[in-house]
Amino acid sequence: MNAVIVNNISKQYGKKKDLIQALKGIFFEVKQGELFGIIGPDGAGKTSLFRILTTLLLPDGGSASVDGLDVVKDFKAIRHRVGYMPGRFSLYQDLTIEENLEFFATIFNTTVKENYDLIKDIYSQIEPFKNRRAGKLSGGMKQKLALSCALIHKPSVLFLDEPTTGVDAVSRKEFWEMLRSLKEQGITILVSTPYMDEASLCDRVALIQSGEILSVDSPEGVINAFKHPLVAVKDNNMLQLLNDLQRFEGVQDAYPFGEYHHVVLKDGFTANAVSTYLQQHNYHQPDVQTIRADIEDCFIALMKTGE
């Protein structure tokens, strides 16, 4: 059975004049026990989607179900069994760690003791500070507490809206390890993130942009679908280099990517062709190497074909 089914969901905000189409009729399914990533930039519609699935918003069109329950009709039942962690830290800042956790446990008709196993790995890291107020915690600790609170009632589906935004690299890595181990316990996890590099940590990902799903696949699947040759190019004058690259007939697309420019070539062209072209244009020793596409390259390519 699928834990989450999204069927032609659409959502718009605002009145006629400045109508914003946040979700434009999207489809996807999440399998039981899957770690499913929703990857897209800010404003792509991730939060709207999460709010619809957690029964906080009503969709304007289409239907969706969580755990076999309709998000509109059975919203009360869904609220009993899902865990939700909003993008913004939303715990009580003036309560201590322990009070927050106990409060959420009672609200969900359970006790900390009952489900301690589930959160032990996460909670034990912040337990030494359990008498500290939540407002005084560091970003990473807040995140752990929020996750513990969202998990305390042993939800069947866990919704995490941008849990790693604004969290340092080490905490991010830890956080994803925690998600991995939660997945082992059979919890279906939907996580949204604007960071492309986190896509590879998911079982499957949905790439979303401007309210539309560009692709739903496993991270490898997404990358494998990238068929064009891709090279990374570097030289002293990067701006000039980009201009020159875009003028080359074999180039389908070129864009800055970290310290390199990534160049998507038309079929039949290779790194050598790029090297030759650049040398003809007074670049002495351009650094050109063939690389494997990553999720971000795929995302950019999908975005451009969408347009």
Partner 1 sequence: MKQFISFVKKEFHHIARDKRTLFILLGMPIMQILIFGFALTNEVKNSKIAILDQSNDPSTQALRSELDASRYFDITQDLHSYQEIEAAFKKGKIKMAVIFPARLANDLDHFNTAQVQLVADASDPNVANTLTNYATAIILDYQDRITNNRRLPYTIKTEMRMLYNPQLKGAYSFVPGVMAMVLMLVCTLMTAITIVREKELGTMEIMLVSPMQPFKIVVAKAVPYLLLSIVNISSILLLSVFVLDVPVNGSLLLLIFESILFTLTCLAFGLLISTKTDSQQTAMFIALTGMFLPTIMLSGFMFPIENMPLPLRILSNIVPAKWFYYIVKEVMIKGLGITAVWKETLILTGMLLFLLVLSIRNFKIRLA
- Residue 63 phi/psi, 5-degree rounding, is -140, 160
Give the closest residue to 8 by CA, choosing from 20, 32, 26. Answer: 26
What is the edge-to-edge ordering of all strands in the sheet holding 35-39?
82-85, 157-161, 188-193, 35-39, 204-209, 212-217
Give the one residue of 20, 31, 41, 88 binding partner 1; rule: CB under 8 A.
88
Between residue 138 and residue 157, which ones bind partner 1 under the rule CB under 8 A? 149
Instruction: State yes or no: residue 173 binds partner 1 (CB under 8 A).
Output: no
Whichever of 30 and 152 has its CB closer to partner 1, that residue is 152
Whichever of 58 and 225 has its CB closer to partner 1, that residue is 58
Give the one residue of 20, 41, 61, 107 binding partner 1; rule: CB under 8 A.
107
127 exposed, middle or buried (CB, 10 Å; 0-12, 13-18, 19+)? Answer: middle
Give the one residue of 21, 70, 79, 166 binding partner 1; rule: CB under 8 A.
79
- For the chain, what's the residue count? 307
Instruction: State yes or no: residue 286 binds partner 1 (CB under 8 A).
Output: no
Give the one residue of 45, 59, 86, 211 binding partner 1; rule: CB under 8 A.
86
3-state secondary structure of 39: strand
Helix-helix angle 139-151:116-126, to 10 degrees: 170
Q: How far is the CB of 84 from partner 1 (least distance, A)?
A: 4
Q: How far is the CB of 298 from partner 1 (least distance, A)?
A: 32
Instruction: Tell me how far apart the alpha carbons of residues 262 and 258 are, in angstroms, rounded to a whole number.
Output: 9
Tokens coding 112: 């900390």
Instruction: State yes or no: residue 99 binds partner 1 (CB under 8 A).
Output: yes
Please say whether the dihedral angle defined by the alpha carbons of residues 195, 197, 198 and 202, taken in this order, is positive or negative: positive
Give the one residue of 18, 42, 109, 258 binding partner 1; rule: CB under 8 A.
109
Q: How far is the CB of 82 from partner 1 (least distance, A)?
A: 7
Number of amino acids touching partner 1 (CB under 8 A): 30
Instruction: State yes or no: residue 55 binds partner 1 (CB under 8 A).
Output: yes
Helix-helix angle 271-280:238-247, to 10 degrees: 110
Give the one residue of 3, 23, 38, 57 binding partner 1; rule: CB under 8 A.
57
Whichever of 108 and 299 has its CB closer to partner 1, that residue is 108
3-state secondary structure of 55: coil
Please answer whether residues 100 and 93 qualify as being in contact, where contact means their C-beta atoms are separated by less than 8 angstroms. no
Residues within the interface to partner 1 (CB under 8 A):
51, 54-58, 75-76, 79-80, 82, 84, 86, 88-95, 99, 102-104, 106-109, 149
